[in-house]
Structure 1
Amino acid sequence: MTNETINSKNIEKKIFLRGIKKTFLAIILASIDILILFFSFLIVSYLKYDGNFLKNLFSLKDIPSIYLTSTIFILSFLFNKLYSFKTYLFWDEMRNIVKASFFSLVLLLLFSFINKTYYSRFVVIYGITLFVILDMVIRYFYRKVLYKLNIFKTNVLIIGAGEMGKIISDKIKAHTFTTYNIIGFLDDDETKVGKKINDYKILGKTEDIDKILSQNDIDEVIIAIPTANRQTISQIISHLEGKVRRIKFIPDMYGLITFSTDIQDFDGVMTISASQGLLNPVNKVLKRTFDIIFGIVGLLIFLPLFLIIGWKIKREDGGSILFKHNRVGKDLKEFKMYKFRTMVPNAEQKLKEMLEKDEKLREEFYKNFKLKDDPRITKIGKFLRKTSLDEFPQFLNVIKGDMSIVGPRPVVRKEIEMYYGEEVAKRVFAVKPGITGMWQANGRSDVEDYDERIALDLYYIRNWSLWLDIIIILKTIKAVLDRKGAY
């Protein structure tokens, strides 16, 4: 029996054992889902029926049968691959939970209509809504616990220790929800072998891959050499076939298209289609509707906070509460952007004097158009900037139509020079600027490189979807709570 045959049998055995483990963990997860679902129904029905839910739990009176509901939800979740333990990002899992739950809700209501069976719409709709929220949280911690206890990890080897290899390892390190566990790198540059990238060692060259596979339990291989030609990629993939469970490679389109892509088999030829969502008039209306609703809700929720902040600003120095500043908007047209005033009343004159006296400050300001330790900031202003509460009056700009909730970073006219000419700036500001955006959600002011900021804004425009807006909002909330990168 050859080594290749032995390796093949070992791989088949590993895949079989991993399949059993996944099935067992999926059964546990499905059981948890059902418990969460009926706990959600219990909470909501208690609010409506004062606890009568338990009496009707196994009947078709007032609420759906536990058997019917469980069957619909489990099948819907299976169909949306929610028990496959794919190497999803948390946002992908969230999206699939929402899709599966909405589909299940529609089926339950349809069943009610066809059978002419009365269910409490309040319990069903609000119960499933509560379930979605709780299930997202529980699934997040479920994967985290499995990863922490080393019960379920996806061991991955990255081929390519260049810029793309570093980027993908950064992403994996930041998202343990994927269950990826980097074993190391391979790279054909001999000078890199033995060194580390993000604490992961470069184990050898590509020709050493069989040796690395025999010494380590590798589930997946990611080929992170976007500049490699088709023949090289084909040779690596052919060599790896049958030796690992899954092979992924990153094409030379990284950062260009991601969300709005569709891979199609065109009679044996793979095609990748990309559509720029914000060119679609329907999507424009959808985004504007989302902005108006979110803007009004934001103002109503934070109105008491606005009043408190306004009183504190006024009490500190007696100056104006709001600060209006000219910013570049859609199609490079200027508008007045609102913020809570965080600086002394004569801030512009003081800045001019400071920049004339201090060359280092002048260099810092013209690089980022802000100062990290700005002496003009008031006591309340430091708190507002650290918590990003100074941005909240921009909800008024959103309702007026000057801004969006999510969009490119609004800039002053002087910053347009940093965009490599008006042509690039026009591409960035083909849409309205946003209260938050890609760069704020990925580090806020810690993203210092203008090239990176522009690239992130262009990425957003090319790949817009309503779901991407929701992800950016959630990531921004997390960044604000972490107090990361704000000054």
Structure 2
Amino acid sequence: MGGRRGWARKYQIRLWITDAVAIALVMWLAHAVRFGMDAIAEVSGPAAPNYWWLSLAFATLWVLQLGWSKSREPRILGHGAEEFQRVLHASWRTFAMIAILGFLTQWQISRGYLLFALPVATVALLAGRAGWRSFIHYQRDRGELNAQVVVVGPVQSSQNLIRRMRNTSRAGFHVVGVCLPPTAWGVLDEDLQDVPVLGTIAEAAEIATRIGAEYLIVSGTDQLSLQEARHLGWQLEGTNTGLVVAPAVADIAGPRVQISPVEGLPLLHVEPPTFGGGKYVTKAITDSMAATLLLILAAIPMGIIALAVKLTSPGPVFFRQVRVGRNESLFTMYKFRSMYVDAEERLEALREQEGDRDAGNNVLFKMRNDPRVTSVGRFLRRYSLDELPQLINVAKGNMAIVGPRPPLPSEVESWEEGVARRQMVKPGITGLWQVSGRSDLDWEQSVRLDLYYTENWSLAGDLTIILRTAWAVVKGRGAY
């Protein structure tokens, strides 16, 4: 990962080139749309330059802002929403600086020029980043483009951390070994026997530096004293190995966490999740308006789908089913019918079958080649077109565009303690479960993602999920 020849450096250069090209093309288009090919069109105002010079300055400032906001920082590349959020922040700061410049100099910069350049270039930047992220995901699925890490800490917390890293391979961490307390040296569970125990905690820094690990990750402090953790930091000074501390708290987003140093001790303040307030009102209004607009735009495609459903199998066009909404209130959810009308009667017989069924899921019934699905329904499910009528639920206020998966009442009855917290927000048409594997996820993974979203969602995060959903639907991956 690190160094002049490491993959991170090469990836950053590619991002820089992609960003520069995207911004340059959009600024050229903005000038062409607003002023044609007039190269000497001047900005109105005292001592104002022409628009070509302004475009050049605008593009240069934007590229610099993307660097200053650390949107190409290696540790955020390939996972999470932080990269996209930093791109958005850099874009808004660039626009604000241009607006301030126009105010101070009394230059009357064309609003049409700016209103074209800002949103189009921002979308182009996000699209470029999404394209490169798909590339890095493809490489990481093959075991490439990872940071080599050594885990150090108590046995149990180290093993849990390694398992999490393996389950989220696209985060880009490859565990090359573990350092354990002397009393537990050499002890690992059977599923982790392929992870070498490199030494003890006291030897961790020297070992990580010697083998060229890029990060030393401290997995816990119940058997690792504060003095030992501090010494690890000292021993890594001047090396190419970074120190990462994995706190005991998990599944909490960055905005809810603040670090306050107290007498040299970094304390993590975790803000409690809120389930009401201004951002919820904003989300509800935005969802309702967007759903209404999308229903109007999708009226003709939905009509064609309805006709295809009706002509290819007997039964109603829409499938209506009672689902559990926010605060466990019941509502009727709408979908295009993708199964034969006797699907419910055939369910019990299918539950007894083995093989094609998802054996890792004891709550949801999922079957890869479900014989109850019609030929048209299989196509609709693959590209999530059967879910378009759920926009009606969003417009009515029963659902949101982004949220946890809407469960059946029978599922809720079998939930373990704590799972019901996912119903503290409105269920969504799409969500983290949709962009993280859809039906390929097992029950525990789905629950963890839904609970994480429930407590940590944001409007910027919702936008990222929507963009990722569009890509997941086009690929048709994990839907059956």
- Look up the SS of the partner of 1:385 in the other structure: helix
Whole-Å separation in 2 of the counterparts to 1:63 and 1:277: 48
Instruction: Indicate whether 1:45 and 2:38 are aligned.
Output: no
1:238-288 superposed Cα distances (whole Å, 9 cap, x missing partner) = 544444442101111012454432223457553333335543411111211
Aligned equivalent of 1:224, options 215, 219, 238 = 219
* Corresponding residue SS for 2:150: strand
1:50 Cα offset (Å):
3.4
What corresponds to 1:373 in structure 2? Answer: 369
Report whether the alignment pairs 1:445 with 2:431.
no
Structure with a larger share of its residues in helix: 1
Q: Is the 8 A contact 1:403 1:432 kept in 2?
A: yes
- In 1, the alpha carbon distance for the partners of 2:339 and 2:223 equals 52
Q: Which 10-residue stretch deviates more, 412-421 or 238-247?
A: 238-247
CA contact (8 A) 1:408 1:432 kept: yes
Q: How do 1:3-82 residues align onto structure 2 when only pairs under 5 Å count? A: 33-52=19-38, 54-56=39-41, 60-62=49-51, 65-66=54-55, 68-70=57-59, 72-82=61-71
CA distance in 1, matches of 2:36, 2:426: 48
Identify which of 118, 125, 131 aligns with 2:121: 131
2:347 maps to 1:351? yes
Which residue among 459, 465, 468 is the counterpart of 1:466?
A: 459
Residue 308 of structure 2 corresponds to which residue in structure 1? 312
Equivalent residue number for residue 289 of structure 1? 285
In 1, the alpha carbon distance for the partners of 2:165 and 2:185 equals: 21
Partner residue of 1:163 out of 160, 165, 170: 160
SS, match of residue 429 in structure 1:
helix
Q: Against the structure 1 CA distance between its residues 56 and 84, is the aligned structure 2 distance closer, same or farther, given a 3 Å change threshold?
A: farther
Counterpart of 1:409 in 2: which secondary structure?
coil
Higher alpha-carbon deviation: 362-371 or 115-124: 362-371
* Deviation for aligned residue 1:404: 0.9
CA RMSD between the two structures: 4.1
Q: Give the conservation status (yes or no) of the 8 Å contact 1:57–1:66.
A: no
Quote the offset at 1:106 in angstroms. 1.8
- Equivalents in 1 of 2:270, 2:247: separation in Å? 14
Please say which of residues 424-433 and 135-144 is displaced more in the overlay: 135-144
* Deviation for aligned residue 1:378: 1.3
SS in 2 for 1:485: coil
Q: Which residue of 1 aligns with 2:259?
A: 263
Judged with a 3 Å threshold, the aligned counterparts in structure 2 of structure 1 residues 121 and 227 are, in CA distance, closer, same or farther, namely farther
**Alpha-carbon distance, 1:183 to partner:** 4.5
The CA distance in 1 between the partners of 2:335 and 2:55, in whole Å, is 51
* Counterpart for residue 479 of structure 1: 472
Which digits, 9 at most, give the CA deviation of each residue in 1:407-466, with x for residues without a partner? Answer: 222111111122225xx35422121111122323322222223x4433322221221211
Deviation, structure 1 residue 219: 3.0
Q: In the TM superposition, what whole-angstrom CA distance separates every residue of 1:2-52 from its partner, at most 9, and x where no partner exists?
A: xxxxxxxxxxxxx9x769999999788656644432211112333343333
State the AA in 1 paired with 2:151: I
Distance 1:348 1:272, change over 3 A: same
Letter of the 1:468 partner, please give it.
G
Percent of residue pairs bearing the same amino acid type? 25
The match for 1:212 among 191, 196, 207 is 207
CA contact (8 A) 2:256 2:270 kept: yes
Within the candidate set 411, 414, 419, 1:415 is matched to: 411
> What SS class does the counterpart of residue 273 from structure 1 fall into?
strand
1:175 Cα deviation after fit: 4.0
**Which of these residues, 392, 415, 423, is aligned with residue 429 of structure 1?**
423
Q: Is the 8 A contact 1:324 1:336 kept in 2?
A: yes
With over 3 angstroms needed to count, the CA separation of the structure-2 counterparts of 1:257 and 1:100, relative to structure 1, is: closer
One-letter amino acid of the structure 2 residue matched with residue 65 of structure 1: L
Q: How many residue pairs are counted as aligned between the two chains?
A: 461
The 8 Å contact of residues 335 and 386 in structure 2, kept in 1 or not, is answered as yes
Tell me the SS of whatever aligns to 1:279: coil
Q: Residue type of the partner of 1:132? A: T
Say if 2:165 and 2:171, in contact at 8 Å, map to a contact too.
Answer: no
TM-fit CA distance, 1:107: 1.7
Alpha-carbon separation, structure 2, partners of 1:314 and 1:140: 38
Q: In structure 2, what is the Cα distance between the partners aligned to 1:229 and 1:182?
A: 20
- Offset at residue 400 of structure 1 (A): 0.3
- C-alpha change, 1:139 and 1:472, in structure 2 (3 Å) is closer
After superposition, the Cα gap between the structure-2 partners of 1:240 and 1:132, relative to the gap in structure 1 and judged at 3 Å, is same
Three-state SS of the structure 1 residue aligned to 2:424 is: coil
Give the Å deviation of 1:394. 0.6
Cα distance, 1:191–1:86 mapped onto 2, change above 3 Å: closer
Q: Which letter maps to 2:370?
A: D
Partner AA of 2:165 in structure 1 = I
Deviation at 1:227, TM superposition (A): 5.5
CA distance in 2, matches of 1:193, 1:425: 30
Structure 1 residue 166 displacement after superposition: 2.5
State the Cα distance separating 1:330 from its structure 2 match.
Answer: 1.3
**Whole-Å Cα distance in 2 between the matches of residues 407 and 63 of structure 1?**
44
Which sections of structure 2, spanning at least 5 residues, go unmatched? none
Structure 1: 5+ residue stretches without partners: 1-14
Q: 1:209 to 1:411 in 2, by over 3 A?
A: same
Verify the 8 A CA contact 1:337 1:397 in the aligned structure 2: yes
Which amino acid is 1:430 matched to? M
Deviations 1:380-426 (A, max 9, x none): 111112222111111110110001112222111111122225xx354
What aligned pairs does 1:169-180 form with structure 2 within 5 A after superposition? Answer: 169-171=166-168, 173-175=169-171
TM-score of the pair, normalised by structure 2: 0.81
Which amino acid in the other structure matches residue 162 of structure 1? Q
Task: Write the distance in 1 (CA, Å) between the matches of 2:436 and 2:10.
Answer: 36
Give secondary structure in 2 for the equivalent of 1:327: strand
Within 1, Cα distance between the matches of 2:393 and 2:189? 53
Kindly state the Cα deviation for residue 374 of structure 1 after the two structures are TM-superposed. 2.7
Kindly indicate whether the alpha-carbon contact (under 8 Å) linking 1:419 and 1:454 is maintained by their aligned counterparts in 2. Answer: no
* One-letter code aligned to 2:424: A
Q: Distance in 1 between matches of 2:212 and 2:478?
A: 38
Q: Distance in 2 between matches of 1:294 and 1:198?
A: 51
1:250 aligned onto 2:268: no
Change in 2 beyond 3 A, CA 1:211/1:202: same
Contact 1:438–1:456 under 8 Å retained in 2: yes
CA contact (8 A) 1:105 1:128 kept: yes
